Amino acid sequence: MAVPNDRKYLKSHEWFKVEGRSVTIGITKFAADELTDITYVQLPAVGKRVTAGQSFGEVESVKATSELYSALDGTVTAVNTALADAPELVNQDAFERGWMIRIECDNLGPLEGLMDGPAYDRATG
Protein backbone atom coordinates (compact mmCIF):
# COMPACT_ATOMS: atom_id res chain seq x y z
CA MET A 1 0.00 0.00 0.00
CA ALA A 2 1.61 3.24 -1.17
CA VAL A 3 1.92 6.01 1.41
CA PRO A 4 1.39 9.38 -0.31
CA ASN A 5 4.35 11.75 -0.13
CA ASP A 6 2.25 14.93 -0.47
CA ARG A 7 1.76 15.20 3.31
CA LYS A 8 3.38 14.72 6.71
CA TYR A 9 2.85 12.00 9.34
CA LEU A 10 2.80 11.70 13.11
CA LYS A 11 4.00 8.55 14.84
CA SER A 12 0.45 8.21 16.16
CA HIS A 13 -0.64 7.67 12.51
CA GLU A 14 -2.37 10.97 11.70
CA TRP A 15 -1.57 12.64 8.37
CA PHE A 16 -1.41 16.41 7.67
CA LYS A 17 -1.85 17.78 4.15
CA VAL A 18 -1.06 21.46 3.66
CA GLU A 19 -2.75 23.78 1.15
CA GLY A 20 -1.76 27.36 1.93
CA ARG A 21 -2.67 27.94 5.60
CA SER A 22 -5.28 25.20 5.47
CA VAL A 23 -4.32 21.74 6.74
CA THR A 24 -6.42 18.63 6.20
CA ILE A 25 -6.05 15.89 8.85
CA GLY A 26 -6.86 12.21 8.73
CA ILE A 27 -5.44 8.85 9.79
CA THR A 28 -3.34 6.52 7.69
CA LYS A 29 -4.40 3.36 5.92
CA PHE A 30 -2.08 1.48 8.28
CA ALA A 31 -3.92 2.87 11.32
CA ALA A 32 -7.33 2.18 9.81
CA ASP A 33 -6.30 -1.43 9.09
CA GLU A 34 -4.98 -1.85 12.62
CA LEU A 35 -8.23 -0.55 14.12
CA THR A 36 -10.30 -2.90 11.93
CA ASP A 37 -13.90 -1.94 11.02
CA ILE A 38 -14.37 1.68 12.08
CA THR A 39 -17.87 2.30 13.45
CA TYR A 40 -17.74 5.89 14.65
CA VAL A 41 -15.55 8.96 14.37
CA GLN A 42 -16.01 11.71 16.94
CA LEU A 43 -14.84 15.09 15.59
CA PRO A 44 -14.88 18.69 16.85
CA ALA A 45 -17.38 21.18 15.42
CA VAL A 46 -16.41 23.90 12.93
CA GLY A 47 -15.01 26.89 14.83
CA LYS A 48 -13.42 24.83 17.63
CA ARG A 49 -9.74 25.18 18.44
CA VAL A 50 -7.39 22.22 18.21
CA THR A 51 -4.08 22.19 20.06
CA ALA A 52 -0.77 20.64 19.11
CA GLY A 53 -0.10 17.46 21.04
CA GLN A 54 -3.66 17.17 22.25
CA SER A 55 -6.53 14.92 21.31
CA PHE A 56 -9.18 16.49 19.04
CA GLY A 57 -11.43 13.46 18.67
CA GLU A 58 -11.57 9.69 18.67
CA VAL A 59 -12.12 6.73 16.41
CA GLU A 60 -14.20 3.76 17.51
CA SER A 61 -13.73 0.40 15.88
CA VAL A 62 -15.09 -3.03 16.63
CA LYS A 63 -11.78 -3.76 18.31
CA ALA A 64 -10.57 -0.56 19.99
CA THR A 65 -11.05 3.11 20.75
CA SER A 66 -8.26 5.39 19.57
CA GLU A 67 -7.61 9.10 20.20
CA LEU A 68 -6.87 11.50 17.35
CA TYR A 69 -3.96 13.92 17.79
CA SER A 70 -3.07 17.18 16.09
CA ALA A 71 0.50 18.27 15.44
CA LEU A 72 -0.64 21.89 15.06
CA ASP A 73 -2.64 24.63 16.75
CA GLY A 74 -5.53 25.80 14.62
CA THR A 75 -9.23 26.46 14.17
CA VAL A 76 -11.51 23.91 12.58
CA THR A 77 -12.89 25.18 9.26
CA ALA A 78 -14.42 22.00 7.91
CA VAL A 79 -15.43 18.54 9.14
CA ASN A 80 -15.97 15.49 6.97
CA THR A 81 -19.67 15.07 7.70
CA ALA A 82 -19.84 12.01 5.43
CA LEU A 83 -18.15 10.03 8.21
CA ALA A 84 -21.19 10.40 10.46
CA ASP A 85 -23.17 8.00 8.28
CA ALA A 86 -20.27 6.21 6.64
CA PRO A 87 -17.35 5.83 9.07
CA GLU A 88 -16.21 2.90 6.92
CA LEU A 89 -14.88 5.50 4.43
CA VAL A 90 -11.84 5.69 6.71
CA ASN A 91 -11.19 1.96 6.16
CA GLN A 92 -11.89 2.21 2.44
CA ASP A 93 -10.02 5.38 1.56
CA ALA A 94 -8.07 6.68 4.54
CA PHE A 95 -5.95 9.15 2.54
CA GLU A 96 -8.74 10.80 0.51
CA ARG A 97 -12.48 10.35 1.19
CA GLY A 98 -11.76 9.30 4.77
CA TRP A 99 -10.28 12.71 5.74
CA MET A 100 -11.47 14.02 9.10
CA ILE A 101 -11.03 17.75 9.71
CA ARG A 102 -9.54 20.82 8.03
CA ILE A 103 -7.96 23.50 10.18
CA GLU A 104 -6.67 27.01 9.58
CA CYS A 105 -3.17 27.50 11.09
CA ASP A 106 -0.91 30.43 11.73
CA ASN A 107 2.21 28.40 12.36
CA LEU A 108 3.04 25.40 10.17
CA GLY A 109 6.51 25.12 11.76
CA PRO A 110 5.84 21.96 13.81
CA LEU A 111 5.22 20.02 10.59
CA GLU A 112 8.92 20.14 9.79
CA GLY A 113 9.60 17.67 12.57
CA LEU A 114 7.11 15.13 11.20
CA MET A 115 7.80 12.16 8.93
CA ASP A 116 7.39 12.31 5.17
CA GLY A 117 5.74 9.47 3.23
CA PRO A 118 8.77 7.20 2.81
CA ALA A 119 9.83 7.70 6.45
CA TYR A 120 6.33 6.81 7.69
CA ASP A 121 6.27 3.81 5.37
CA ARG A 122 9.56 2.58 6.85
CA ALA A 123 8.34 3.24 10.39
CA THR A 124 5.27 1.08 9.87
CA GLY A 125 6.85 -1.52 7.58
Partner 1 sequence: MQQTRLHAVHVELDGRMVDFAGWEMPLLYRGIVEEHVHTRTAASFFDVSHMGRIAFRGADAAAFLDRICTRRIGDMAVGVSRYGHVCRDDGGILDDVIISRDEDHHLMVCNASNREKLLGWFAERRSGAVEWEDRTLETAMLAVQGPSAIPILEQLLPLKLADLKRYHFRSISMLGQTAWFFRSGYTGEDGVEVIAPAQFAEIAARTLMERSQALGTPILPAGLGARDTLRLEAGMPLYGHELDESIDSISAGQGWAVDLTKDFIGAAAMRRVQEAGPRRKMIGMEIDGRRVARQGAEIRADGATIGVVTSGAPSPTLGRVIAMGFVDATRAEPGSRVEIDLRGSSVTATLCKLPFYKRGK
Residues at the interface with partner 1 (CB under 8 A): 33, 36-37, 39-40, 42, 58, 60, 62-65
14 with 125: CB under 8 angstroms? no
102 with 77: CB under 8 angstroms? yes
* Nearest distance from C-beta of residue 82 to partner 1, angstroms: 15
Instruction: Give whichever of 25 and 38 is closer to partner 1, judged by the CB atom.
Output: 38
* Nearest distance from C-beta of residue 78 to partner 1, angstroms: 21
Residue whose C-alpha is closest to residue 98's, from 33, 26, 50: 26
* Nearest distance from C-beta of residue 44 to partner 1, angstroms: 13
Give the three-class secondary structure for 46: coil
